[in-house]
């Protein structure tokens, strides 16, 4: 399986990029990964890269975008930070990926049982992690149920997962609000900005 070229990247539409990721995740679930020579793809991409998608995901060791979407060298840009939120640096990286490098899709990917989300639910304090978790707390507040504070902790996995979903939606809102470049590209039909959740129990990605 060859790496993407400028010509093959140009043929991918934003909706087509979503389908490519869905197909890759299905192969991952069915243990039918594509036959690709990664070292050959290293050689293919030595003079340039033409990924079709940009994925923002958590640093969680179980959520490698290249693996769960069955992608190879040069196929996707992968940005990772605990809790999959955006800041100026990540937005700048996304703008480079889309505007300058030609990707057709921005996917914000949360996952079930997210440790960063659990920390936000519990108001955890630990060095620089305290500031990181503060970026996720708005999603905790935005999930109104349950009202019982004893159920709004990391011990309630349903609540944790609801917050993780809300965090994805709020991250997408922040991308559109804080990046004029990406917002204009989406308005012009050049890219799509979408969300999804990865289930750590079965390997399935559900797109919103």
C-alpha closest to that of 185 among 117, 102, 122, 65: 102
Tell me: is residue 98 an annotated ligand-binding position: no
Tokens (6 digits) for 102: 């030609």
Rg (CA), the chain: 17
Contacts of 94 (CB under 8 A, 6+ apart): 54, 56, 79, 86, 106, 175, 179, 182
Tell me: is residue 111 an annotated ligand-binding position: yes
* β-strand partners of 76: 53
Q: What is the largest CA-CA distance in the chain?
A: 57
Q: What is the DSSP letter of 107?
A: E
Residues in binding site for Zn(2+): 58, 60, 111, 114
Residues in binding site: 58, 60, 111, 114
């Amino acid at each position: 399986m060859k790496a993407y070229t400028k010509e093959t990247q140009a043929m991918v539409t934003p909706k087509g990029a979503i389908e490519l990721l869905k197909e890759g995740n299905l192969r991952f679930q069915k243990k039918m990964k594509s036959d690709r020579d990664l070292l050959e793809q290293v050689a293919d991409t030595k003079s340039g890269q033409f990924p079709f998608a940009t994925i923002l995901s958590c640093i969680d060791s179980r959520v490698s975008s290249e693996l769960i979407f069955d992608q190879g060298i040069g196929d996707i840009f992968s940005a990772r930070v605990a809790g999959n939120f955006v800041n100026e640096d990540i937005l700048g990286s996304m703008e480079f990926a889309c505007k300058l490098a030609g990707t057709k899709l921005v996917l914000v990917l949360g996952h079930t049982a997210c440790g960063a989300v659990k920390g936000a639910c519990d108001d955890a304090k630990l060095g620089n992690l305290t500031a990181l978790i503060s970026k996720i707390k708005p999603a905790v507040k935005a999930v109104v149920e349950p009202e019982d504070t004893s159920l709004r902790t990391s011990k309630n996995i349903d609540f944790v997962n609801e917050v993780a979903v809300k965090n994805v939606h709020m991250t997408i809102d922040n991308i559109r609000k804080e990046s004029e470049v990406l917002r204009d590209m989406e308005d012009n039909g050049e890219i799509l900005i979408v969300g999804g959740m990865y289930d750590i129990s079965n390997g399935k990605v559900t797109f919103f």
